[in-house]
A and B are shown apart, each in its own frame.
Chain A
Amino acid sequence: MADKKKQSKHQPAKKQGDTFTRYLVIGMIALIVLAGVGAAIAKNHSNSHAPVPASVSKADGYGISLNPTAKVKVDMYEDFRCPNCKNFEAVNNTFINSLVRAGKINAVYHPMSFIAPDSAVAAAAAACAADQGKFLEMHTALYANQPDSSVVGEHSTYWKNPQLILLGHSVGITSKAFDSCVNSGKYIPWTNNIAADAAAKNINGTPDVIVNGKTLPLATDYDAKAFAKVLSDLGVK
């Protein structure tokens, strides 16, 4: 139909039609680029109105901060779907949990959400568990039950709300508030705040473990003895 219209007109009119198409395409591409940049910046900006779970400290980059008064601070940037984080947890989880329970360290957990589409869902569920005072248990269970990346692709979805709720129940959460917190995705926006803060702090991968402001070499993260030595040098045993 458009062709017919063009043919019936004179030569210059046809050229004008081509020019119009061209500008239309240019306009569309410009719109895509501008909308994309706008959305990316808006989405990754910290939202101060986002609901935050219990024990979150804004000063600590929205991380879940346990024992905030302890002298030695251990910041952990992890993604619940990150296999290397699972390695770190397999090596150090029991030790770190015991130190936290004994009040010996200020553990700050920054659950990142960039590995898989469900990373944020798992992080939000852990935040719901924090409200029930069961963050450590949920955190441990999420890594213990992380799917093998050779079975479920590292970047494929694994966790869905019903499984996360069951996992929560398995670590002793009984409150209905937990179930509805997970189902409503209450803390999903909070995971963006974590990510925005990590970006501003130049966190470029997970796991990233920082003890009293000093980033540990990756080799230390995967070595129980070396990790324990860093803490014992600071008087934590």
Chain B
Amino acid sequence: MKDSWKSWLTLVGRLLLGGVLLAAGYLKARNPTEATASVRVYKLLPVGVANIFGYCLPWIEIGLALLLIVGIWVRQVSVLSGALMVLFIFAVGQAWARKLAINCGCFGNGGVSADGKVHPGVYLTEILRDIGLTVVAGYLYRFPHGKLGLDKAEVFEI
């Protein structure tokens, strides 16, 4: 059992990535108005498409989170979660480059304040957090079979 610590780390990674996705999804699912606005502010999608994406995204996050937490399809889910994080990094990066205010709701300090001043810290925090979560997703892709997961039966298949 010399690889045991790896499977514990996989459990930690699953709970970490799953926990963040679950919290993010839950907060957005409770407030669809903010959820859709938080997609629109990135100005990547036409408004109608952004709104549909905004209604679906929280539930996709919740679904991925639950699969990670119970440990089903960890490898596949880690790819999807990683892709989502890369999408977020891209979205935040281009918002930074275009000086778009993100974190809607209260316009207060979503990267650009009322006087038009840009606050790089807001974008940077988001990007660094998402890079960290992408690394976790990468680890789960490499070592998908951890403790207390329903995928256990397939341990020797990959």
Q: Which residues from chain A sit less than 8 Å from chain B, CB to CB? A: 15, 18-19, 21-22, 25-26, 29-30, 32-33, 36-37, 40-41, 43-44, 82-84, 112-115, 154, 195, 198-205, 217-219, 222
The CA-CA distance from A82 to B33 in the complex, in Å, is: 14
A199 & B36 in contact (Cβ 8 Å cutoff): yes
Identify 12 residue pairs between A and B in the complex whose beta-carbon atoms are under 8 Å apart, listed by A's number: A18-B153, A29-B63, A30-B63, A33-B59, A33-B63, A40-B59, A44-B55, A84-B108, A113-B33, A199-B36, A205-B105, A219-B115
The CA-CA distance from A196 to B60 in the complex, in Å, is: 21
Q: Report the minimum CB–CB distance from B107 to chain A (whole Å).
A: 4
The closest CB in chain A to the CB of B37 belongs to: A204
A199 & B106 in contact (Cβ 8 Å cutoff): no
Q: Report the minimum CB–CB distance from A73 to chain B (whole Å).
A: 21
Q: Which residues from chain B sit less than 8 Å from chain A, CB to CB? A: 29, 31-37, 40-41, 47-48, 51-52, 54-56, 58-60, 62-63, 66-67, 70, 72, 104-108, 114-116, 150, 153
The closest CB in chain B to the CB of A222 belongs to: B114
The CA-CA distance from A159 to B28 in the complex, in Å, is: 23
Q: Report the minimum CB–CB distance from A180 to chain B (whole Å).
A: 28
The closest CB in chain A to the CB of B114 belongs to: A218
The CA-CA distance from A201 to B37 in the complex, in Å, is: 11
The CA-CA distance from A218 to B106 in the complex, in Å, is: 11
Given the interface pairs A25-B72, A218-B114, the reply to whether A205 lies near B32 with Cβ below 8 Å is no
Residue in B36, B40, B66, B116 whose Cβ sees the most chain A Cβ within 10 Å: B36
> Which A residues touch B115, using CB under 8 A?
219
> Which A residues touch B114, using CB under 8 A?
217-219, 222
